[in-house]
Amino acid sequence: MKKIIISFAVVTFLTSCGGGEDKKADSGSDKKETAVEDVSKNPVYQKGLELIAGSDCLTCHKVDEPLTGPSYRDVANKYAAAGDTIVAHLAGKIINGGKGVWGEVFMTPHASLSKEDAEAMVKYILLLKK
């Protein structure tokens, strides 16, 4: 009888400890979701997303996986540490095209884009850094 009571007490104790870990994990994921929501409410994010959606960029790029060109997240992870100093350079790459940084596939120029719009697109992409 003592073994049953002790076993019951141990199981109860382990069950109650396990429940607390789930709550901690959930609260951490809530913070991550809030951070993602906060970025998506950023006006820079919204403007860049709108510009990219209205262009042909999504023909060659996706957010999380490479297509013809690198994923936006890969670009963000590579260049985000450079901060604002890289924005004008990457905007120039969008406008003038480029080759060699991400392989031998040529990125077509987008000469009709204004410098301001290209920079807004770059700022949006840099916000995607993980």
What topology does CATH give the domain 42-130?
Answer: Cytochrome Bc1 Complex; Chain D, domain 2 (1.10.760)
DSSP 64: S
Dist CA 34 CA 24 (whole Å) = 16
pTM of the model: 0.71
Place of tokens 């884009």: 113
What pLDDT does residue 87 have? 97
Q: Is 107 helix (H, G, I), strand (E, B) or coil?
A: strand
pLDDT tens digits, 66-93: 999 999 999 999 999 998 899 999 999 9
Whole-number percent of the chain with pLDDT over 90: 63
pLDDT at 32 over 90: no
Dist CA 43 CA 65 (whole Å) = 24
Q: Is 65 helix (H, G, I), strand (E, B) or coil?
A: coil
